[in-house]
Amino acid sequence: MKTVRELDLNDAIRLIEGAQAHAIRIGVPMCIAVTDSAGNLLAFRRMDGGKITSITIAIDKAFTAAAARKATHDYGEASQPGRPAYGINTAIGGRLMVVAGGLPVSVDGEVVGAVGVSSGTPGEDREVAQAALDHFAVAAAA
Amino acid sequence: MKTVRELDLNDAIRLIEGAQAHAIRIGVPMCIAVTDSAGNLLAFRRMDGGKITSITIAIDKAFTAAAARKATHDYGEASQPGRPAYGINTAIGGRLMVVAGGLPVSVDGEVVGAVGVSSGTPGEDREVAQAALDHFAVAAAA
Amino acid sequence: MKTVRELDLNDAIRLIEGAQAHAIRIGVPMCIAVTDSAGNLLAFRRMDGGKITSITIAIDKAFTAAAARKATHDYGEASQPGRPAYGINTAIGGRLMVVAGGLPVSVDGEVVGAVGVSSGTPGEDREVAQAALDHFAVAAAA
Amino acid sequence: MKTVRELDLNDAIRLIEGAQAHAIRIGVPMCIAVTDSAGNLLAFRRMDGGKITSITIAIDKAFTAAAARKATHDYGEASQPGRPAYGINTAIGGRLMVVAGGLPVSVDGEVVGAVGVSSGTPGEDREVAQAALDHFAVAAAA
């Protein structure tokens, strides 16, 4: 038997609120998803103006970051032509996302969930996902 | 061209909060989804203890209620063996839900979105979805 | 080698216009799909007020009626509990529709395509699909 | 609540007719799809000689252009190896199209739907989609 730590719903909402506040600051309405460590959805918000295509993409970025315990932008590099993970983006029916914007949420070095963001450029998506993690870390430390 | 009204994110969160408050009252942690009138996800929460299977079920109940403009329990009756809509539950890759818990959200007789609830009995799911609508109507009237 | 007759695009539009005219007469906005004999889409219209869920359902009713050369309501009877085709509605990823509203289009006893209709009751859907066939037969005879 | 404008069926047919006329001019039979702003199909035609594979491709190009509010050829550039959106083409079960031929339809700077074209070269598909928009703009101005 083992014991695992998991995000609860309040943690998920805190992560989303951190992302949403930053999305407002940069003026890009986003789809924001938070999953548990198994990649299953905990909470989701589509801000007014977020893209319809980004619903699934945000959820799948969070799924990938949690369930593979890896930032989606790291997969982006590893899956370039000629690189070891080339072609991985079609795995799991296309759910394995290699575009930036999915980040694992870790506590004491252990992945407890993930956040996925989509609707901006991949750089903006990643920045907003990072803002979620920063906001969560501050709240956890308080 | 035509003009349609849609729920915004604040409306969606209000609906979820109404559902969540009632789920707490009856002691059944739920998955709660809100979509726009086309059935695309606006907001989602899995309460602590909500079921993993219910993530998709809640989302698909809301999708069905919005995109077909019909409560999922009405499909439940119409799709019994020998009834006209028998077999409809497997349509759209199985996304068309005929189990209670999906309710359209209407304003002035126009469907503007839907709420979908899952994790309890179908009766509890429907009751919690109705609580979302009641809470939304009170807020809209205030 | 063999030679097969197929609907062309003009035939498909004529079928849709027959359906659309009847849908207007009965006051039920419909999704209307026409496929060739292989079940592949030739033409589609969603009337203003047609349901989003009915896009896929109308297309799949036409697919079923063409590719199985059978009216979907015949499958509805044959797939009732205890009947020989029980469970067929989940076949082909749920694309095999057993709800009324899909009718093959035949010329000289040969199936050359199909029409699928959805958004009303199954009875209305079937009636509107039949109107497409009647309109097509009159045009072909003229 | 918010209010959005949408294409109606007449608009969709007008867009298709503009595309079809240009396809005839260049002698390339096409599959032509028009969706609403959420990416849901409004109307579709497969011209005689249009490709079977292009049914889904045209529909998904329109879906992408509408639901992501971006021309599919812009995704084509942004998703080249080494570029930020590399790998995005397999998202949403492969529905996110990065091949030219999907264009958003905008009115007063607001995306109200999209057109998707397939069966020719990507350049021809894009040219025919653009002809749909040009025809629609002329009709709207008249």
Q: Work out the pLDDT band at D138, boundaries 50, 70, 90.
A: confident
What average pLDDT does the segment C55-81 reach?
Answer: 98
What is the distance of C-alpha A63 from the center of its chain? 7
Q: Please, is A3 exposed, middle or buried when counting C-beta atoms within 10 Å of its C-beta (0-12, 13-18, 19+)?
A: exposed
Beta carbons within 8 Å of C85's beta carbon, 6+ residues apart: C75, C78, C79, C98
Q: How far is D7 from chain A (nearest CA, A)?
A: 17
CA D47, distance to chain mean position in Å, is: 16
pLDDT above 80 for A66: yes
3-state secondary structure of D105: strand
CB contact under 8 A, D84 and A123: yes
A62–chain D nearest CA distance, Å: 13
Q: How confident is the model at residue D131 (pLDDT cuts 50, 70, 90)?
A: very high
Residues 45-74 of B with CB under 8 A from A: 45-48, 52, 55
pLDDT band at residue A141, thresholds of 50, 70 and 90?
A: confident
Provide the mean pLDDT of chain A. 96
Interface contact C52-B64, CB threshold 8 A: no
> D46 vs C42: CB contact, 8 Å cut-off?
yes
A53 burial level (CB within 10 Å; 0-12, 13-18, 19+): buried
Q: Can you tell me whether residue D65 is helix, strand or coil?
A: helix
Contacts of D41 in chain C (CB under 8 A): 44, 46, 55
**Own/partner long-range contacts of C121-125 (Cβ < 8 Å, ≥24 apart):** C121/B84, C122/B84, C122/B85, C122/C73, C122/C76, C123/B84, C124/C26, C124/C28, C125/C30, C125/C61, C125/C99, C125/C100, C125/C101
A29 φ/ψ angles, rounded to the nearest 5 degrees: -65, 135
Alpha carbons A64 and A89: distance in angstroms, whole number: 10
Chain A touched by B43 (CB under 8 Å): yes
- What H or E segment, with its residue span, contains residue B117? strand B110-118
Q: Alpha-carbon distance A129 to A32, whole Å?
A: 8
Indicate yes or no: CB of B86 within 8 angstroms of CB of C76.
yes
**pLDDT at residue D139, as a whole number:** 76
Is residue B41 within 8 A of residue A47, CB to CB? The reply is no
pLDDT band at D58 (very low <50, low <70, confident <90, very high): very high
* Residue closest to A39 by CA, chosen among A64, A76, A12, A71: A64
Contact predicate C88/C79, CB 8 Å: yes
| Inter-chain CB proximity D44 and C44 less than 8 Å | yes
| Cα A61 → chain centroid | 5
State residue A96's pLDDT score: 98
- Kindly state the tokens that stand for B132: 């979302």
Q: Tell me the mean pLDDT in the region A69-82.
A: 97
For residue A97, the chain D residues in CB contact (below 8 A) are 87, 91
Average pLDDT over residues A61-76: 98
In percent, how much of chain D has pLDDT > 70? Answer: 99
Task: Provide the 3-class DSSP secondary structure of residue C50.
Answer: coil
Is there a contact between D40 and C48 if contact means CB atoms under 8 Å apart?
A: no
Give the nearest chain D residue to C13 (CA atoms): D45
Question: CA nearest B101: which of B79, B74, B137?
Answer: B74
Instruction: Count Cβ–Cβ pairs < 8 Å, chain B vs chain D.
Output: 39
Mean pLDDT, rounded, for C12-17: 98
Question: Which residue bears the tokens 């989303």?
Answer: A16
- Chain B residues in contact with C79 by the CB 8 A cut-off are 86-87
Three-class HEC string of B120-139: CCHHHHHHHHHHHHHHHHHH
Number of Cβ atoms within 10 Å of the Cβ of B55: 22
Q: What are phi and psi of B38, to 5 degrees?
A: -90, -5
Confidence band, pLDDT 50/70/90 cuts, at residue D98: very high
CB atoms closer than 10 angstroms to residue C84 = 8
CATH 3.30.450.150 fits A9-141, yes or no: yes
Helix extents (H) in D1-142: 9-26, 53-67, 72-78, 122-141
Mean pLDDT across D17-37: 98
Q: Which fold has domain D9-136?
A: Beta-Lactamase (3.30.450)
- What class, spelled out in words, does domain B9-135 have in CATH? alpha beta
Instruction: Give the whole-angstrom CA distance, residue C44 versus residue C33.
Output: 4
**Model confidence at D18: pLDDT above 90:** yes
* Disruptive mutation site among D11, D17, D36, D42 for chain C (greatest number of C CBs within 10 Å): D42
The amino acid present at D78, given as its one-letter code, is A
pLDDT at D140 > cutoff 90: no
pLDDT of residue C138: 85
Mean pLDDT by 10-residue block, N- to C-terminus, for chain B (142 residues)?
94 98 98 98 98 98 98 97 97 98 96 98 98 91 71
On chain B, the residues whose CB falls within 8 A of the CB of C100 are: 84
On the question of pLDDT at D34 being above 80, the answer is: yes
- Residue range C107-123: average pLDDT? 97
Nearest-10 Cα torsion for D97, D140, C28, B102: 50
By Cβ distance, the residue of D67, D87, D93 closest to A79 is D87
Q: Which phi and psi (to 5°) does residue C107 adopt?
A: -130, 120
Q: What is the mean pLDDT of residues D38-57?
A: 98
Q: Check pLDDT > 90 for residue C18.
A: yes
Helix (H, G, I), strand (E, B) or coil at C54: helix
Q: What is the DSSP letter of D120?
A: S
Domain ranges for chain C: 9-141
**Residue of chain A whose Cα is closest to the Cα of B6:** A48
Confidence at residue C29, expressed as pLDDT on a 0 to 100 scale: 98
For chain B, counts of helices (H) and of strands (E):
4, 5
Virtual CA dihedral for A106, A107, A109, A112, nearest 10 degrees?
Answer: -50
Residue of D nearest to A81 (CA): D81
Q: How far is CA B104 from CA B130, C14, C85, in A?
A: 10, 35, 33
> What is the model's pLDDT at position C43?
98
Q: Of the candidates B40, B3, B22, which has an alpha carbon nearest to the alpha carbon of residue B136? A: B22
pLDDT of residue C140: 75
Residues D64 and D72: beta-carbon distance below 8 Å: yes
Q: What percent of chain D has pLDDT over 90?
A: 96
